[in-house]
Amino acid sequence: MSTIFLAVIIGASFGAVLDRVGATSPNYIGKMLNLTNLHLAKAILLAIGVGSVLMFGGQMAGLVDVGHMSVKTAYMGVFLGGLMLGVGWAASGYCPGTGLAAAASGRRDALVYAAGGLLGAAAYMLTYPMWKTAGLLTGKALTLGAVPGAEYDALVPGVSGDLAGILVGVALIVTAYVLPDRIISSPTTAPAE
């Protein structure tokens, strides 16, 4: 029971943070995706970077149990699904986490988004045998660097997986700080004559 309680507390806290940084607003997300306001992108990069440094640094220090980590398999279905997620994110202004947080805050469009996500998941479940037969669901689990004792192949075999994770995290943190607030200027309306 304490695990469920902890999951609810962490999930609610994460949703509150998403709402606070503007990630539950499709307008704010749209501005990020059209490069006119990158504050949310900077927050995302910073959060992932800090999380990576803490997690992989914790693994190196023996504070994080690697047994709880899971490496997902890379296969064509993952890439196609990622492409579909990106198109859906751009079209709706929500990704799965931000859509559910927005729905929890009472946004009706987010409730429609969540219902669409459930319908999409049901459609995938019903068509799963077809995708499996087509060979889109087979592949290998890969890591960026080598993880001792793991059965995963490394993209860069001579580099420690923990060190690679820390370096990627630092790169994301630096990117968050050097990224400008906008790449494309917001359109302005001409003054009335």
DSSP 62-114: T-S-GGG--PPEE-HHHHHHHHHHHHHHHHHS--HHHHHHHHHTT-HHHHHHH
6 sits in which H/E element: helix 2-20
Residue 109 pLDDT:
92
The reported pTM is 0.77
Residue 30 pLDDT:
86
- Note the maximum CA span of the chain: 72
Q: Is the pLDDT of residue 188 over 60?
A: no
Predicted confidence band at 187 (pLDDT cuts at 50, 70, 90)? Answer: low
Q: Which domain holds residue 127?
A: 2-178
Is residue 8 in some structural domain?
yes
Is residue 77 in some structural domain?
yes
Of the two residues 160 and 152, the one the predictor is more confident about is: 160
Is residue 193 in some structural domain?
no
| Total count of domains within the chain | 1
Those residues with Cβ within 8 angstroms of residue 121's Cβ, 6 or more apart along the chain or in another chain: none
Q: Is the pLDDT of residue 66 over 80?
A: no
Is residue 58 in some structural domain?
yes
168 sits in which H/E element: helix 161-178
Give 3-state DSSP helix, strand, coil % of the chain, rounded to 5: 65, 10, 30
What average pLDDT does the segment 110-129 reach?
Answer: 92
Give the C-alpha separation, 47 to 14, whole Å: 12
Q: Is the pLDDT of residue 45 over 70?
A: yes
Predicted confidence band at 86 (pLDDT cuts at 50, 70, 90)? Answer: confident
Is residue 190 in some structural domain?
no
Is residue 192 in some structural domain?
no
Is residue 183 in some structural domain?
no
